Amino acid sequence: MAVRAAPSRKLSPQAPLTGAAAWVVIPCYRVTSHIREVLAGVPAWIEGVVCVDDACPDGSGDLIEATTADPRVRVLRLPANQGVGGATLAGYALALELGARIIVKLDGDGQMDPDYLPHLVAPILLGEADYAKGNRFTTAQHLHAMPGVRTFGNAALSMIAKVSSGYWGVFDPTNGFTAIEGSVARLVMERNVDRRYFFETDLLYHLGTVRAVVRDVPIPARYADERSNMKIGRIILPFAAKHLRNAVRRLVGQYFVRDLNIASVETILGFPLLLFGVFYGLSWLHRPHIGPAPAGVVMLAALPVIIGVQFLLQAVNYDVQSAPSEPIHPRLRAVERLKSGTA
């Protein structure tokens, strides 16, 4: 778990708000030019705000304390930079300590419109989801403000993330505008979630392992003069490697460790048949011979490929249909009440 420091009480001398419903966590790193506007836009129904100063060299925490009088705001200072994931998890922990039941992650660079906070919280509040996230790809109009390079990159990552996370109905995995139910947040905080820029995507993988229900919420892209700390060229290969790792871990765990089902059988049969057909066909092409290949050779190469592809397509279809559909947080809440003796 991320390193946590004691929260600053300068802005809120009263006792912590207990029994709060929705809180906002804002990782703060080089966001001094936008953070005041972001805080001003937090609606009144949000019961608390945790601003995580992630060892910001620009002094985000100092600026917030000096310019914000909102009693809902707490400043949490981390002694060393943890990355966006580490800062968010540290903010989760403090919000939960203060009684949060739903936690929204809101970036401090102004890219996320606070007017859409109700849209993120509603699926969890209604018991329809454990985790809700923004999706900027629902309409072309929502993508109007997104740079072309980011649009292409996010679309490509979305397709890869479907395989690595198992959430085939979810798009825009790098979108950091998210909401999570408190008991689910406690559960994923116990896991080794990536602390850096892979955080949102890796969180989807870990949510999938506990069978949490994830819902996409249509939210338009919002860009202005903010500065991104993420360098695309530096993350492509690491992201690809982490996606591959998660995909292998998920498929092995879901279909060969925790369960054995028809998709397991189809995968076991599909890959060998496909590989045999491909390599046999290629080996024949390299043999010295005159004239076309005999019909038997063609069938011996083509038939395993056809059958193998069909098996694998059926396995993928099974995987798509097996995405989580029943929220887990009611059960987790019941367990918490039983453990505390308040059931």
Residues in a beta bridge with 216: 133
Write out pLDDT tens, residues 131-185.
Answer: 999 998 876 665 566 666 666 666 777 888 999 999 999 998 888 999 999 999 9
Number of separate helices (H) and strands (E) present in the chain: 11, 8
Please tell me whether residue 302 adopts helix, strand or coil conformation: helix
Task: Dihedral sign for Cα 85, 90, 91, 92, please.
Answer: positive
Q: Which helix (H) or strand (E) segment is 60 a member of?
A: helix 60-67
Query: How far apart (Å, rounded) are the C-alpha atoms in residues 168 and 287?
Result: 43
Please tell me whether residue 213 adopts helix, strand or coil conformation: coil
* Residue ranges in the chain modelled with pLDDT below 70: 1-20, 139-154, 223-235, 286-291, 293, 342-343
Helix, strand, coil percent content, the chain, rounded in steps of 5: 50, 10, 40
Please tell me whether residue 291 adopts helix, strand or coil conformation: coil
Other CB atoms within 10 Å distance of the CB of residue 95: 27
Amino acid type, 226: E
Measured N-to-C along each axis, helices 83-97 and 199-209 cross at an angle, to the nearest 10 degrees, of 60
List the chain domain ranges. 7-253, 260-340
Other CB atoms within 10 Å distance of the CB of residue 30: 18
Protein fold of 7-253: Spore Coat Polysaccharide Biosynthesis Protein SpsA; Chain A (3.90.550)
Per-residue pLDDT, 172: 87
Distances (CA, A) of 154 to 162, 196, 282, 335: 12, 17, 36, 37
Please tell me whether residue 337 adopts helix, strand or coil conformation: helix
Other CB atoms within 10 Å distance of the CB of residue 33: 15
Locate 229 and state its tokens: 């700390």
Measured N-to-C along each axis, helices 295-321 and 262-285 cross at an angle, to the nearest 10 degrees, of 150
Are the CB atoms for 181 and 124 separated by under 8 Å? yes
Are the CB atoms for 327 and 128 separated by under 8 Å? yes
